[in-house]
Chain A
Amino acid sequence: MHEMGLMEDALELVAEDAEKHAFQSVDKISLIVGDLSNVLPDALRFAFDAFRESGQIPILSQQASLEIIPEKGLAKCAVCGITYEPNAFIATCPECGMPFGVLLAGETFKIESYEGS
């Protein structure tokens, strides 16, 4: 379970930026989480709640909410050029069967935005 550490990183990045804007509190954080990022949304929510309740990130208000925006996995076959949603055999094209797919999306794990005042 590495979501605890990742959530801490995310909250610190938000807190740092919010301080630059002279915010007193952060009320909402929106994260983009890709299907292939190896980050579990449920574990992120658990970690977020734990940090909010602990008061470890003082700028995070007690009413703060977490939005998780999912990003679907997407790959492009280098042989036949189609794009596809990869299954476990990431590199393999479902059309031509060749293993030369390149990932276009799904690995993202980033802070899209936050709200505060």
Chain B
Amino acid sequence: MKITLEKNVMENNDRAAAFNRQLFNKTKTLVINIMSSPGAGKTTILERTVAELSKDYHIGVIEGDIATERDADRIRKKGVEAVQIATEGECHLDPRMVAKVLPELDLDAIDILFIENVGNLVCPSEFDLGQNHRVVVLSTPEGNDKIPKYPLMFHVTELALINKVDLLPHVSFDLDKAREDLRAIQPNSRLMPISAKSGEGFETWIDWIRANLEACQKH
């Protein structure tokens, strides 16, 4: 006998994401899901970001990696609460993994929670974690081609941080071309050149976070 089910496979994920989102709304926590390929500089960006923001706000970080506690340790050294999720082979974070570690964080106190996803430009774009904002990081040595090669990642994010712009004189990365390609994939996304090493562009990035926090806490 044939049964017509018409059921979305992501249903369980979407339900878990909605649960997380409800919780974040209640605690008025701004949640930013940061994605990129391995080595684009997510953790270095976060180190600098939390050092800056923790002067004014209570920050929390969830680190996603296939293995090791290394990234969470790097963040803890900045005096910020960090929880590591070791996915043990999974190439992305899903909302159930996030829900499982939320009790380890004091969400009532945390103003801004960063979730650093597993380094991968494909799978993490598929999974809603219940975040307020999705940000992708692309570093200049990776090249312009990454944008049209991984269009879904750039389609589902609202901000593309172009990291390592201090290397622009040494690599063939064209910022104008990147802007044009991003617009062709997601016209509502914004491109922001930064360098986690030199600090270039960080004021704009920090302002972007502050503005979103204000909007999030107004509700």
Q: Which residues of A contact B (CB under 8 A)?
A: 1-2, 5-6, 9-10, 13-14, 17-18, 21, 23, 31, 36-39, 88-92, 99-100, 109-117
Q: List 10 A-B contacts (CB under 8 A).
A: A1-B123, A5-B90, A5-B94, A21-B3, A89-B148, A90-B184, A91-B183, A100-B187, A113-B4, A115-B2
B13 / chain A contacts, CB cutoff of 8 Å: 9
Measured CA separation A100–B186 after assembly (Å) = 8
Distance from B17 Cβ to chain A, minimum over Cβ atoms (Å) = 14
Measured CA separation A39–B92 after assembly (Å) = 13
Chain A residue nearest to B154 (CB atoms) is A90
Chain A residue nearest to B148 (CB atoms) is A88
Query: Which of B1, B4, B7, B90 has the most CB atoms of chain A within a 10 A radius of its CB?
Result: B7
B181 / chain A contacts, CB cutoff of 8 Å: 89
Chain A residue nearest to B187 (CB atoms) is A99
Q: Which residues of B contact A (CB under 8 A)?
A: 1-13, 90-92, 94, 122-123, 125-126, 148-149, 151-152, 155, 181, 183-187
Chain A residue nearest to B145 (CB atoms) is A88
B9 to A31, Cβ gap below 8 A?
Answer: yes
B3 to A99, Cβ gap below 8 A?
Answer: no
Task: Give the contacting residue for A91; candidates B4, B149, B187; CB below 8 A.
Answer: B187
Measured CA separation A14–B152 after assembly (Å) = 28
B5 to A109, Cβ gap below 8 A?
Answer: no
Measured CA separation A63–B90 after assembly (Å) = 28
Measured CA separation A38–B90 after assembly (Å) = 15
A92 / chain B contacts, CB cutoff of 8 Å: 184-185
B122 / chain A contacts, CB cutoff of 8 Å: 38
Chain A residue nearest to B183 (CB atoms) is A99
Measured CA separation A37–B122 after assembly (Å) = 10
Distance from A63 Cβ to chain B, minimum over Cβ atoms (Å) = 16
A90 to B185, Cβ gap below 8 A?
Answer: yes
A112 to B6, Cβ gap below 8 A?
Answer: yes
B1 / chain A contacts, CB cutoff of 8 Å: 21, 23, 115-117
Chain B residue nearest to A20 (CB atoms) is B3
B9 to A90, Cβ gap below 8 A?
Answer: no
In the complex with contacts A36-B152, A38-B152, A112-B4 CB distance below 8 A: yes
A99 to B5, Cβ gap below 8 A?
Answer: no
Task: Give the contacting residue for B9; candidates A21, A100, A111; CB below 8 A.
Answer: A111
B2 to A110, Cβ gap below 8 A?
Answer: no
